[in-house]
Amino acid sequence: MQKYPAIEDHGLIGDLQTAALVTRDGTVDWFCVPRFDSPSVFGALLDFRRGGYFAIAPEGVRYVSKQLYLPDTPILITRFISADGVAEITDFMPVTGERATNRHRLVRMVRMIRGSMRFKVECRPRFNYGRDRHDLEIRHDGYVFRSPSLELTLNPVGRVRRIVRERETAADEGDVVGFVTLHEGETGGAVLDSGTAQPPRVIPIDEIDEMFEETRDYWRHWLDRSRYTGRWREMVERSAITLKLMTYAPTGAMIAAPTAALPEEIGGTRNWDYRYTWVRDTSFSVRALLGLGFTEEVSRYMNWLDERIREAGDSAAPLKIMYRVDGSSDLEEEVLEHFEGYRGSGPVRIGNGAADQLQLDIHGEALDAMHLADEQGIRASNQVWRSTVRMVDWLCDNWDQPDAGIWESRSHPRDYTYGRLMSWVALDRAVRLAHRHGRPGDINHWLRHRDDIYNQIMERGYHRGRRTFVQSYGDDVLDASLLIMPSVGFVTPTDPMWRSTLRAIDEDLVSDSLVHRYKPAAAPDGLPGDEGTFNMCTFWYVAALACSGRLEDARLVFEKMFTFSNHLRLYAEEIALTGEQIGNFPQAFSHLSLITTAVALNELLDAEGRR
């Protein structure tokens, strides 16, 4: 096992309740069960000594490895190619369904395509982020790992049990370590099973094939619902599958990323837990999913969001910025002192201390999502509308105050222009929804505050010396979040104030087509260190270029961004100056903004008659 493979050297598999990362050399080094936000069982990604992993790889032979997804699915194939032979590991998780369950299966199927190879199999779980000890029970037909919080069974596939036992599988601190030799045409492997009271058993190949076919068919039937037929279809559909993989099926909530504490700077301290549902992120996904025709996913998320709006409206409080996938909000942040962090990047944080911040913009994202869904016939109930009215009335009383901003600054609150912009969006969309269906609300009151926000941004959010909209009132710092001003309808792309802002962003935040959120040195955010360019901001930049008439520039920047995806077309949160992917992986922000940008740019290119 490689100590710390590059962040981008992973593929993602999942069952719509949890997920795992698999390296290019066949190691599962991140897996939390039974949910995305559960403690890790395999966490070597954050500490290769203490985190635990599940590796299957050729032993005693030089090889190269390649990875690909089975087309139109998240079934991951890792190929080992050597002079002695060619083998494949097929990793997947059978879909669990829409009822929350503790039963999750990680299937690792090994096929010998040509020649013969000896494989080393290591299953070294470390429960509860490596904090709980466990016992190993060796059974005739497999293995049972028991910890105080979780039990796992390791079930051999096909001939593996007999061959491994001939080699005397070792039990070292509760780990399973063994060897198996496969010859051309043979299939073996293992299934790691959680939440079952059944003893381990040898699983027949026919049963594995059936699980494989059901998983394959589920994903292909799901993707067949996409109505997108434009340019860059493979990139768009891979992003759609990735977003689906990060959706918790029982509630429809989407996590920001399946990982925690991957650094925004190697060796730095900006290491956050993203295994939660941000109102902002998932609301942005509504536009992406609707653009592809996935109305069922949007409807399920809107039901989840409706519940959060009812909770906020009934208590006359703002929305929280993030929740767990089940809608609870206990996200207390703690540091795993015993984990060294990815490549020594500590501290390793779980939970998220930003959960209780005031971020005014989320009301705008939520109302915009409600507005877009409503246009597609996904309408809020009377009860939800009444809660929405109370939330909008709260915003009228509270929009004109400092907040933590979209980037969750941990320094003192400020008058962020983006927060005011999205408060304008919230009031504007509330007015539109009320007018569209004749629903009750103090529309004149909302209109007055909407117009007050507009006038305030034009007066205080625009720096006349630099001729640009700025990050916060009273400073001259640029912020890439303002790139969405035209797309939300606050300014027209031909407005001179907007054109000069785009030019300023070109000069100040764009580096070889990649876009920084802001410059931390110019806008201290309460945290040490630096960060890479932010993928979502680069996609927003493409959209801004396109709607401003710079279609050639937009297309070039967009296609340059494809060169920064990994070998499986996946994106982390950021790109380092070295070109490496950094931050949590894969990142919903990156993939949803790729989709919305592709849809918009494709339509503009079609309108221009471009190839």
Q: Can you give the pTM of this predicted structure?
A: 0.95
Q: In what order do the strands lie in the sheet with 574-575?
A: 533-534, 574-575, 581-582
Please answer whether residues 22 and 91 qualify as being in contact, where contact means their C-beta atoms are separated by less than 8 angstroms.
Answer: yes
Of 227, 253, 348, which is closest to residue 308 (Cα–Cα)? 253
Beta carbons within 8 Å of 385's beta carbon, 6+ residues apart = 433, 439, 440
Please answer whether residues 53 and 29 qualify as being in contact, where contact means their C-beta atoms are separated by less than 8 angstroms.
Answer: yes
Domains of the chain: 10-222 (2.70.98), 225-608 (1.50.10.10)
Measured from the Cβ of residue 496, the count of other Cβ atoms closer than 10 Å reads 9
Strand-pair category, 53-58 with 247-248:
unpaired
Helix, strand, coil tally for the chain in percent (to 5)? 35, 20, 40
pLDDT recorded at residue 292: 97
* Segment-wise mean pLDDT, segments of 10 residues, the chain, 611 residues: 91 98 97 98 97 96 96 98 96 96 96 95 96 93 93 85 44 81 94 89 94 98 97 98 98 97 92 96 94 95 91 77 93 96 96 91 96 94 92 95 90 92 98 96 97 98 96 95 96 96 96 90 58 94 96 97 98 95 97 97 89 59
pLDDT recorded at residue 526: 56
SS3 call for 188 = strand
Burial-class residue 477 by CB neighbours within 10 Å (0-12, 13-18, 19+). middle
pLDDT recorded at residue 167: 43
Write the DSSP assignment of 86-145 as a string of letters: EEEEEEE-----SS--S-EEEEEEEEEEEEEEEEEEEEE--HHHHTS--EEEEETTEEEE
pLDDT recorded at residue 163: 39
CA distance 469 to 41: 46
pLDDT recorded at residue 1: 64
Strand-pair category, 187-194 with 175-183:
unpaired
CB environment 102-126: b (16+ within 10 A), e (fewer): ebbbbbbbbbbeeeebebbbbbbbb
pLDDT recorded at residue 165: 40
User: Residue 587 — φ and ψ, nearest 5°?
Assistant: -110, 125
Q: Which two tokens stand for residue 601?
A: 């740019």
